[in-house]
């Protein structure tokens, strides 16, 4: 594929400036003046992209149509609206009113039991905050003098996230906000190339190899979209650890023919929203149990009817699961979502009142042989194995399908699935998803 002249070289260069500025903001996250400079520069360069596209509008006969569509869409994005207001403030009035904040979450064996947030010096790292919390003199109360919940400290996990926020966008971390701004303006530069029938252009590259003429709206070079620094303190071992992230790329060999041959069913189609897609997702989970022995654990995030992000999950038996869900939500950065679909396996037992009581199973250990006996292990006894598929929406009542099954002589037998509706049936570990709805819908 040959290179062609860039149809909007000045705008493309400004987009690359934004890319470089975000890298520098990350590199200097604990250097307040360098971070401020990179933040201001990225916001101003992003606004210049649209100005320079408009300056060259005579190049495209249908400019008003496609650019007008982009403008209408961008006005619905609260982060892009924030960036326009912020650019005017930076240029005409003053710097943004940013704050360096530490968020603390204290978790029991499974769920969060306390959260707090407070302003810290910009040079403070997440590890610094953990050291302070771990001191004996700090035990017993939170920053706001709230009592630490009762329980064995050795069973608790402490999570700290140090981040930058702006008073005009207080619920979003600023690097994540910049990445969303980049995503928005990258789409209009991509459209300009498409309308000019230019796949690859001659725009120059920076010394940082990923800052080049290629336009990656998701900025995959930066990894998961969790700005700031995150660390955990394990109460059992005293270990301080940094979370590990895995990027899952679509397998190009997983076409319809391969899927049908491997799983024995046609490739399911999605696009009916998180509530409407439950049946198709359950069918796929059944096929995975038959073929792989395990349905998998993951979240799919939706905006409207279409899924746009897939987050695989691993639930270890000795680590809080709500923290994993929280990080999956944070991994979206500033992207808006109004729905999610959660798939896992459950042990179904009898509760104290005689009704069904469920527990999410840990993720199988890849080091163990993946035999049916491993997946079917029931440490309590007398429980039934089941697939759970949950659809959550900011606009409608949650819905869950539960598929009980048994492993018999190397085969899998499925009962008829049953359905539950309403918030009372939703496991507490999904609370971060619901909080994500409210934070984004309030803009």
Three-state secondary-structure class, residue 437? helix
- Among 177, 245, 182, which Cα is nearest to 215's? 182
Q: What is the distance between the alpha carbons of residues 174 and 28, in angstroms, rounded to a whole number?
A: 13
Q: What is the distance between the alpha carbons of residues 60 and 197, in angstroms, rounded to a whole number?
A: 11
Is residue 151 within 8 A of residue 113, CB to CB? The reply is yes
- Among 213, 180, 224, which Cα is nearest to 324's? 224
- The token pair at 179 is 């990445």
pLDDT in tens, 233-276: 988 888 888 887 766 666 655 667 777 788 888 888 899 999 99
pLDDT in tens, 37-68: 999 999 999 999 999 999 999 999 999 999 99
User: What average pLDDT is seen over the chain?
Assistant: 85
Q: Which residues does residue 166 pair with via DSSP β-bridges, in sequence order?
A: 98, 169
434 alpha-carbon distance from chain centroid = 13
Extract the runs of DSSP E, i.e. beta strands, from 223-305. 229-234, 240-241, 298-303
Longest dimension (CA), the chain: 74
Cβ partners under 8 Å of residue 89, min gap 6: 96
User: Is residue 32 scored above 80 in pLDDT?
Assistant: yes
* Residue 145 pLDDT grade (very low, low, confident, very high; cuts 50, 70, 90): very low
Q: What is the distance between the alpha carbons of residues 257 and 347, in angstroms, rounded to a whole number?
A: 33
């Amino acid at each position: 594929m040959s290179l062609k002249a860039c149809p909007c070289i000045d705008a493309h260069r400004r987009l690359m400036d934004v890319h470089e500025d975000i890298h520098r903001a990350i590199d200097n996250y604990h250097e307040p003046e360098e971070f401020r400079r990179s933040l201001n520069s990225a916001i101003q360069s992003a606004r210049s992209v649209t100005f320079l596209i408009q300056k060259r509008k005579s190049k495209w006969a249908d400019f008003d149509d496609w650019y007008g569509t982009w403008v209408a869409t961008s006005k619905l994005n609260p982060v892009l609206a924030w960036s326009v207001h912020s650019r005017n403030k930076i240029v005409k009035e003053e710097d943004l009113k940013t704050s360096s904040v530490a968020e603390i979450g204290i978790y029991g064996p499974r769920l969060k039991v306390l959260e707090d947030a407070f302003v810290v010096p910009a040079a403070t790292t997440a590890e610094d905050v953990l050291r302070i919390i771990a001191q004996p003199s700090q035990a017993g109360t939170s920053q706001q003098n709230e009592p630490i919940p009762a329980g064995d400290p050795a069973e608790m996990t402490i999570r700290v996230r140090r981040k930058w926020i702006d008073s005009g966008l207080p619920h979003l971390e600023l690097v994540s906000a910049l990445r969303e701004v980049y995503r928005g303006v990258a789409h209009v530069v991509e459209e300009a190339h498409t309308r000019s029938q230019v796949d690859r252009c001659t725009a120059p590259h920076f010394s940082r190899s990923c800052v080049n003429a290629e336009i990656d709206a998701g900025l995959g070079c930066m990894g998961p979209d969790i700005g700031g620094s995150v660390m955990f303190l394990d109460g059992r071992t005293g270990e301080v650890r940094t979370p590990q992230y895995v990027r899952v790329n679509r397998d190009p060999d997983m076409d319809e023919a391969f899927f049908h041959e491997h799983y024995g069913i046609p490739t399911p189609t999605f696009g009916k929203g998180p509530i409407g897609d439950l049946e198709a997702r359950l069918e796929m989970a059944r096929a995975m149990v038959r073929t792989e022995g395990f349905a998998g654990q993951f979240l799919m995030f939706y905006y409207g009817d279409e899924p746009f992000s897939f987050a695989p999950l691993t639930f270890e038996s000795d680590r809080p699961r709500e923290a994993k869900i929280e990080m999956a939500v944070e991994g979206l950065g500033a992207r808006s979502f109004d729905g999610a679909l959660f798939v896992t396996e459950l042990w179904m037992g009898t509760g104290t009142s005689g009704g069904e009581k469920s527990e999410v199973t840990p993720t199988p250990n890849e080091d163990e042989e993946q035999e049916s006996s491993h997946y079917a292990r029931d440490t309590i006894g007398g429980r039934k194995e089941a697939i759970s598929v949950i659809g959550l929406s900011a606009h409608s009542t949650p819905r869950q399908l539960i598929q009980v099954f048994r492993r018999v002589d190397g085969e899998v037998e499925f009962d008829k699935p049953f359905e539950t509706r309403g918030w009372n049936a939703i496991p507490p570990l999904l609370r971060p998803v619901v909080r994500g709805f409210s934070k984004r819908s309030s803009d």
